[in-house]
Amino acid sequence: MVLPSGLALPPVEYAVALLAGTLVVTALLYALEPPIDQRTVVALTPWMALGGALHALHQPPIEAYRPVVAPLFGAPAVYLTTYVTLGAIWIALSLFSVRRGHSETISRNLGLVGTGFLTVVLVLSVIMALRSDLLALVWPTVSVTVAAVLAALTVLAVALWRTPTVVRMRYAAPTVVFAHALDGASTAVGADVIGVTERTPIPAHIMEFAASLPTAPYLGRGWLFVLVKVVVAVAIVVLFDDYLEEDPVEASLLLAVVTAVGLGPAANNVVLFLFTPV
């Protein structure tokens, strides 16, 4: 098994609505063909984090949603909910920008709208945690800070090793590396500090192996997962170098998916940490 535990399909009516929305949005985006390049990967990152944050608010001890909308934010439904919302706004921005003759601003505006939504959700999360006397800012801050420093050092090392690669992938490379560094760092904090049980089998097996090593009493069990995530991110950046130059649209979309695989769970972790008693 490679999927996390706790996945549950929503009721049939919600599933049908989400699938229909996904098909319609995908068809319209395919027809409109908005410009897609590695800057689009950056523009999509707040939406990826938004999906993770929205799912966190669905879980205990938060459970912020009313029963009528709660099925939209479980896993895996939250991914389709976020995609349909993102797609609808992407379509609206594409139509508006093309009409005004500024199609080059679509990705920028998409990123700004996503950042606005994410900011609202994070502020509301902090307020809810504060009202419930569970607000904890230390470990979310530590996770983001460690990930940022680790990503910066990693990108710098790759730039010294393969300068042309980082120059060509100057937008996508830092984004991919940071997303997976944050996933690794937040997972390690959850496992070694907060005591969270990992729901995804592969990270759980990696950390179980690390716990059996002589380094466990000193480094804990999460460090190996952080290392694996960073190494995988670097490998993807290197492997996608030529691909991004040959087919920028397809490569950028795949890089966005790779980024989402790291950033979505990472944002979920960070928001949950806000509700962890110190």
Q: How confident is the model at residue 200 (pLDDT cuts 50, 70, 90)?
A: confident
Candidate from 82-86, 100-104, 117-121, 208-212 with smallest mean pLDDT:
100-104
Count of alpha carbons within 13 Å of 174, Cβ hemisphere only?
A: 11
Is 80 exceeded by the pLDDT of residue 79?
yes
Taking the C-alpha atoms of residue 243 and residue 117, their distance in angstroms, rounded to an integer, is 32
238-264 average pLDDT score: 95
pLDDT at 61: 84
Residues in the chain: 278
User: What's phi and psi for 9, nearest 5 deg?
Assistant: -70, 145
The pLDDT of residue 4 is: 59
CA distance 18 to 28: 15
Share the mean pLDDT of the chain. 93
**Model confidence over 125-181: pLDDT tens digits?**
999 999 888 888 999 999 999 999 999 999 999 999 999 999 999 999 999 999 999
Q: Helices (DSSP H) in 169-222: which residue ranges?
A: 172-189, 201-211, 216-219
- Within 13 Å and on the Cβ side, how many CA atoms surround 207? 25
pLDDT value of position 2: 54
End-to-end C-alpha distance for the chain, whole angstroms:
33
Kindly tell me if the per-residue pLDDT of 278 is higher than 80: no
Q: Is 236 helix (H, G, I), strand (E, B) or coil?
A: helix
Asked whether the predicted pLDDT for residue 188 surpasses 80, the reply is yes
Say how far apart CA 73 and CA 79 lie, in whole Å.
8
User: Residue 99: which pLDDT band, with cuts at 50, 70 and 90?
Assistant: confident
| pLDDT number for residue 134 | 82
CB atoms within 10 A of CB 21: 17
Exposure on the CB side of residue 114, measured as CA atoms within 13 A: 29
Instruction: List the beta strands (DSSP E) in the chain.
Output: none
Look up residue 137 and give its DSSP letter: -
247, HSE (Cβ side, Cα atoms, 13 Å): 7
Cβ atoms of 225 and 187 closer than 8 Å? yes
pLDDT (average), residues 83-93: 96
Residue 31, phi-psi category: left (phi > 0), alpha (psi -120 to 50), beta (remainder):
alpha
Would you say residue 274 has pLDDT above 90?
Answer: yes
Mean pLDDT of 117-123: 97
CA 38 to chain centre: 16
Evaluate if residue 183 carries a pLDDT over 60: yes
pLDDT value of position 3: 52
